[in-house]
Amino acid sequence: MSAFKVVAAVGFFAAVLLGTASAQSQNAPAGDAAHGRVVFLKEACFTCHGRVGEGGAYNGPAPVLARTALPFEGFQAQIRNPVNDMPAYSDAVLSDKDIADIYAFVKSLPGPRSPKDFPILNN
């Protein structure tokens, strides 16, 4: 193999590896938002976080989940090992697939509307 071919091959594999690594850290697993909604209601996430992920309270604020800015890894880590008062959900209760589905569901929620959308607030 010529030196050029070796350099080209190494560059190609590096590009493939880098491409894969960045795709993995940015893309959540494909989730089924409709099933995520079912699990979100069945596993009682809504009792603290609201039926449309609008947030609520439990010994303090239970954060808004609609359109979460958390990456999937952080979202899942909170569910498995909550940072504070939220109950933990082990994989015996909630599979990784269920979490991916919930993530797709909360990402699909519209979140709060802008005050500009309410004519009475713009008089």
Side-chain half-sphere CA neighbours of 58 within 13 A: 15
Q: How far apart are the C-alpha atoms of 5 and 104, rounded to whole Å?
A: 43
Query: Cβ of residue 21: shortest distance to ligand HEC, in angstroms?
Result: 24
The answer to whether residue 100 forms part of the interface with ligand HEC (CB under 6 A) is no
Q: Which amino acid is at 15?
A: A
CB 106 within 8 A of CB 65: yes
Site residue total, ligand HEC (CB under 6 A): 24
Inter-CA distances, 60 with 19, 63, 92, 111, Å: 41, 9, 27, 20
Site string for ligand HEC, 41-80 (x = CB under 6 A): --xxx-xxx--------x---xx-x--x-x----x--xx-
Closer CB to ligand HEC, 11 or 87, in the complex: 87
Q: Please, which residue, 7 or 39, has the CB nearer to ligand HEC?
A: 39
Residues forming the site for ligand HEC (CB under 6 A): 43-45, 47-49, 58, 62-63, 65, 68, 70, 75, 78-79, 82-87, 89, 94, 102
